Structure 1
Amino acid sequence: MKLASYRHGGVLHAGVVVGDPGDERVCALPPGATVLDVASAGGESAGAAASWAMTHSLPVPISEVRLLPPVRPTSIRDFVAFEEHVEGVVRSVSGGAGVPAEWYEAPAFYFGNPHSVVGANDDVEIPPGCSVFDFELEIAAVVGIPGRDVDPRRARENIVGYTILNDWSARDLQAREMKVGLGPAKGKDGSSTLGPWLVTADELEPFRDDDGYLALEMRALVNHVEVGHDLASNAAWTFEEMLAHASRGSWVGPGDVLGSGTGGNGGCLAELWGRSGVQEPPPLAAGDVVRLEVEGLGAVENRVVDRPAGAPGRAVGPARARSRARSRSEIGSVPA
């Protein structure tokens, strides 16, 4: 089942996507239903909701609606599970070489901004202060069943569906802030695309290989030219293992999003730059169109735009030198 969140005629809906690729239509679910609720219910309950939508709602062509992120994440944990991606990006972002030994020990992730998600076809602004803008080709798993210390052998039960994730990256901001030993933070804070819809986990079972990985083809195109192509099964860990790691000593809950990390072989521009030593293709600029395609999940396509002239958001200046005084008596009088 494919479930979408969308706006049509000024009204927010959740719906069931039907039709063949390129000719999709969406049928609205009962009022008040959400994609996450229906996907999490599963089984007969989800089937009943879908049947209601297809018998009580007129199908609307996807081209006539604005697709929204299928879920509003409660949190985003974005992993870095593709070794080939790490090899290239380490060179490009930090100037290092090779994959850190610590990467092999456990699946690493950072927390993204759940408030900055955009839909499958929304415009994406270049972040303020950024001159090296990049995309990232990822798959995201959506948690529907809460858990803590989840056994990786049972973790599949907690995942209710999958969607495409584009973890947009300000590489120059990212490189600077990660030298402090934190982040990425503002380098990843501007936008993340989720979409075009949520595909329930059962639909992707035929794509599993013998090791339990989802062997989905992933492609990235910039201005209609393919720059990246990989298999999702090249990740070093399965989504079940990533979820188990995320839940170790911690809770995961409904609406949590787990990003796979960026695919290799051109899953982002920074990987290509790290391998060649030159920024070719060049960083994204206003007017560029980035399209990500994942087998079984569909495609998202976003246009890069400049921030509006005069938009607020003043940069904070550099650190000020301080005295390191230990008491107020050392710094003189304090205004009343």
Structure 2
Amino acid sequence: MRIARWTDGTGTVGEGFVVGDRVVPFPDGLTVAEVLARGLAEAHRVFATVTASDGVALSDVRLLAPLVPASIRDFVAFEEHVEGVSASVDGKSEVVPEWYQAPTFYFTNPHTVLGPGEPVLPPVTERLDFELEVAAVIGGAPGDRRANLTADEAREVIFGYTIMNDWSARDLQSREMKVRLGPAKGKDFGTSLGPWIVTADEFEPFLDDEGFLAIRAEVYVGDERIGHDLVSNMGWPFPELVAYASRNARVVPGDVLGSGTTGNGGCLAELWGRRGSLDPRPLTEGDTVRMVVEGIGELVGPVGAVVPAPELPPARERSRHRAREERVPR
């Protein structure tokens, strides 16, 4: 099943299934959020009640991001990506021992999610980049257990998968992470999701013996293919990422968990690190990034105009006094 959100140009948002070349609204006014919360088995029951003739042509609507995320965690699960990007940041290609110990992630901004074809409006940056990722979308599950999941329990709460483009301003990201926190403004201006959520059961034929998702992923800038990889090259399969996210915390329906950037050119920064130069060049206004993932489809993201923000002063050097100086009344 494919689940999507769309608009017909009147401002009305539709939510439902993609059946062939048509979009069909959920019955009874259901929303994507409600269908996710009910879980995959209930989604199949709802799907059985609709027919393609109830909908409209896919070509007559504009797809939106397939959900409004409750949260977005983005992992860094591809060893090859870490190896290449580390060289672009500090000139040394390495994968630190800590990477192998546990899957690492950061939280990004759920309020700047972009849909298919929606342009990213980056901050002022000299190193705009894309990141080719697949993301798991969390749904409901029997028992509704959310915290400290095992990998088997986590597998049961993965509702489906979508394509994710974690847009990145590498110069801003590099500065922020020198302070040993972040990334923040180097990332939070835009994350593209889409074109729809494909339910997890559709991917069972692609799972290898260890539970890794062996699907092909490619990324193009214009007509040039920049990178391609198998998603099964992750260090951990998706259920283990979800289980780790739930440690002493909770995962809930609508959470999005990105795989992190694929290897072999899943982003420009990896290639910059390996080649020692800005080759290919950073993204600029007018570029179009197209991501194609087997079993899901295609996510296109145009690059729009840079949006300058009001400047803020640098930190003031303060006295570090430990007591307030008393002021003499005038």
What is aligned with 2:186? 187
Deviations 1:14-58 (A, max 9, x none): 121122xxxx32112225312243244346632342244426623
Deviates more, 1:236-245 or 1:146-155: 146-155
- Whole-Å separation in 1 of the counterparts to 2:150 and 2:323: 51
**For residue 13 of structure 2, what is the amino acid of its counterpart?**
L
- Alignment of 1:316 onto 2:317: no
CA offsets 1:284-316 (integer angstroms, 9 cap, x no match): 0000000001000111001101136xx6x3121
Per-residue CA shift, 1:119-162, capped at 9, x if unaligned?
A: 011011122x2111000000000111351000112211011111
Corresponding residue for residue 137 of structure 2: 142
Is 1:97 aligned to 2:93, yes or no?
yes
In 2, are the aligned partners of 1:75 and 1:256 still within 8 Å (CA)?
yes
Deviation at 1:220, TM superposition (A): 0.3
Q: Structure 2 CA distance, aligned partners of 1:177 and 1:293?
A: 31
Cα gap change, 1:44 to 1:229, in 2 (>3 Å): closer
Cα separation, partners in 2 of 1:264 and 1:92, compared to 1, 3 Å: same
Tell me, yes or no, if structure 1 residue 223 matches structure 2 residue 228.
no
CA gap of 1:334–1:35, structure 2 versus 1, over 3 A, is farther
> Which residue identity is paired with 1:73?
P
1:84 is aligned with what amino acid?
A: E
Q: 1:230 to 1:223 in 2, by over 3 A?
A: same
Q: Tell me: CA distance 1:2–1:334, structure 2 relative to 1, closer, same or farther (3 Å).
A: farther
Q: Is the 8 A contact 1:228 1:266 kept in 2?
A: yes
Aligned to 2:296: 297
2:67 aligned partner = 71
**In 1: Cα distance, 2:314 partner to 2:28 partner:** 50
Provide the C-alpha distance between the structure 2 equivalents of 1:45 and 1:78, rounded to a whole number of angstroms: 28
Q: Report how far residue 95 of structure 1 moved.
A: 2.9
* 3-state SS of paired residue (1:280): coil
Instruction: Summarize the Cα distance change of 1:191–1:335 in structure 2 as closer, same or farther, 3 Å threshold.
Output: farther
Q: Distance in 2 between matches of 1:304 and 1:178?
A: 24
Alpha-carbon separation, structure 1, partners of 2:137 and 2:52: 27
Which consecutive residues of structure 1, in runs of 5 or more, have no partner in the other structure?
none
Percent identity of equivalent pairs:
53
TM-score by length of 2: 0.94
Q: Using structure 1 for the length normalisation, give the TM-score.
A: 0.92
Q: Could you say what the CA RMSD is over the residues aligned between the two structures, in angstroms?
A: 1.8
1:44–1:181 Cα change, 3 Å: closer
User: What corresponds to 1:119 in structure 2?
Assistant: 115
Q: Is 1:279 paired with 2:278?
A: yes
SS in 2 for 1:77: strand
The residue aligned with 1:28 is 25
Q: How many residues align?
A: 325
